[in-house]
Homo-oligomer: A and B are copies of this chain.
Amino acid sequence: MFEFNITAKNKRARTGTFTTPHGVLQTPIFAPVGTQAAVKALTPAQLKDLGGTLVLSNTYHLYLRPGDDLVAEMGGLHRFMRWPQPILTDSGGFQVFSLSNTREVDDKGVTFKSHIDGSEHRFTPERAIRIQENLGADIIMAFDECADPNDLEYIKKAMDRTHRWAERCLKAKRRADQALFAIIQGGIDPDLRAASAEFIASLDTPGIAIGGLSVGETKDQMHAMLDVVTPILPENKPRYLMGVGTPEDIIDGIARGIDIFDCVLPTRLARHHSAFSPDGRLNMANATFARDERRIDESCDCYTCQNFTRAYIRHLINAKELLAGTLLSIHNLRALIRLVEEIRGYIKEGTFEDQIPGLMERWANNAQRKSEEIETQRTN
């Protein structure tokens, strides 16, 4: 059911198709984030229109609200949120460690308090799988422990626990129509990353996720970790770099053999009035745009750029109209989806390596990773 076929290769970069019960994904792919069973400020019709296919939803959030049992009763996530294309859920691991207030970790699982109402909850690997089975996504994640990247001893401990939890998730999994990906951890230590990649690659899963990056390390550290990990991984499984990233990160990641990306950046930037553009990231609230009749990106094919001037979008922001967030979300998501579409074309032509410098230059000013952005990157 979950067949992955590589269709072209350019050094480590590759294009492929990943077949799921809700459609065939073209990789490399960028997945918009619909944390609470909705991509913020967009209807499914708008999301489809801008080329969205795979959507990520967050298990931690949906478990707390509206509850995975309710989603199951409503026919599962696809039917509930009216997204007939593939959905991926994370395991809740990252959010339990980044969002919830108090937590106690032991080998069996994690006890935490809801960030919404302080109520106490417990996730175990088995429970994380059961919740994700209730949600019913096409791609689900093993429960993992995310460690502080600066505490080597803890990273080792968390990595070992993540490996044991991955085995337990595999054992707990029941639904044949869901692909369980196990997650590589190991912080920014090359030896631990290599060990984790080897262990996770040895498991019988249809895909592999790389976690614990994009959580505060530098770009160089992320690249170094990808350079350690991807050569260890089998060619015939899709590789998902969790919570990444900026346009620059996506170009870098694809060059290092990554197939799947997700990030809240496009929609979160939109709510903060920022737009990706070939002139760099634009703050559309700026008064310099008040009478600017150009589109955000004159070369963009999104609904926003096909219709609205910078002046109009700046007016909407200034007048506090919600439509601003919608129009900017459409543009920013389309920008990243177009980027991966463009890169898929280059890989198929065999020219991706040659295109990287040009792509990097074009997207350079969109790529700053401000610390406050990274911190909330996967929590939306």
Chain A residues 318-337 with CB under 8 Å of chain B are 318-319, 321-323, 325-327
Q: At the interface, yes or no: A299 with Cβ under 8 Å from chain B?
A: no
Residues of A within 8 A of B (CB): 36-38, 40-46, 61, 65-66, 70, 73-74, 80-82, 290-291, 293, 303, 307-309, 311-312, 315-316, 318-319, 321-323, 325-327
Partner of A82, one of B36, B290, B308: B308
The docked-state distance in angstroms from the alpha carbon of A327 to that of B70 is 21
Known: A36-B321, A45-B303, A65-B319. 7 other contacts (CB 8 A): A38-B316, A41-B326, A43-B327, A66-B311, A74-B309, A80-B311, A322-B325
Partner of A326, one of B43, B66, B74, B319: B43
Q: Can you give 17 contacting A-B residue pairs, CB < 8 Å?
A: A37-B315, A38-B321, A40-B322, A41-B323, A41-B326, A42-B323, A43-B323, A43-B327, A45-B303, A65-B315, A65-B319, A70-B291, A74-B293, A80-B309, A80-B315, A322-B325, A322-B326
The docked-state distance in angstroms from the alpha carbon of A326 to that of B326 is 10
The docked-state distance in angstroms from the alpha carbon of A22 to that of B303 is 22
The docked-state distance in angstroms from the alpha carbon of A308 to that of B81 is 7
Contact in complex: A40, B80 (CB < 8 Å): no
By beta carbon, the residue of chain B nearest A46 is B43
Contact in complex: A38, B323 (CB < 8 Å): yes
CB distance from A49 to the nearest CB of B (A): 9
Q: With a CB–CB cut-off of 8 A, which chain B residues contact A309? A: 74, 80
CB distance from A317 to the nearest CB of B (A): 11
Q: Which 10 A-B pairs have the closest CB atoms?
A: A36-B319, A66-B315, A41-B322, A38-B321, A82-B307, A38-B323, A74-B311, A65-B319, A80-B312, A322-B322
Q: With a CB–CB cut-off of 8 A, which chain B residues contact A42? A: 323
The docked-state distance in angstroms from the alpha carbon of A41 to that of B316 is 11
Q: With a CB–CB cut-off of 8 A, which chain B residues contact A41? A: 322-323, 326
Q: With a CB–CB cut-off of 8 A, which chain B residues contact A81? A: 312
Q: With a CB–CB cut-off of 8 A, which chain B residues contact A40? A: 321-323
Q: With a CB–CB cut-off of 8 A, which chain B residues contact A319? A: 36-38, 61, 65-66
CB distance from A364 to the nearest CB of B (A): 31
The docked-state distance in angstroms from the alpha carbon of A38 to that of B327 is 12
Task: From known contacts A80-B311, A312-B80, infer whether A70 and B290 are also in contact, taking CB-CB under 8 Å.
Answer: yes
Q: With a CB–CB cut-off of 8 A, which chain B residues contact A36? A: 315-316, 319, 321
By beta carbon, the residue of chain B nearest A304 is B43
The docked-state distance in angstroms from the alpha carbon of A81 to that of B315 is 10
Q: With a CB–CB cut-off of 8 A, which chain B residues contact A315? A: 36-37, 65-66, 70, 80
CB distance from A319 to the nearest CB of B (A): 4
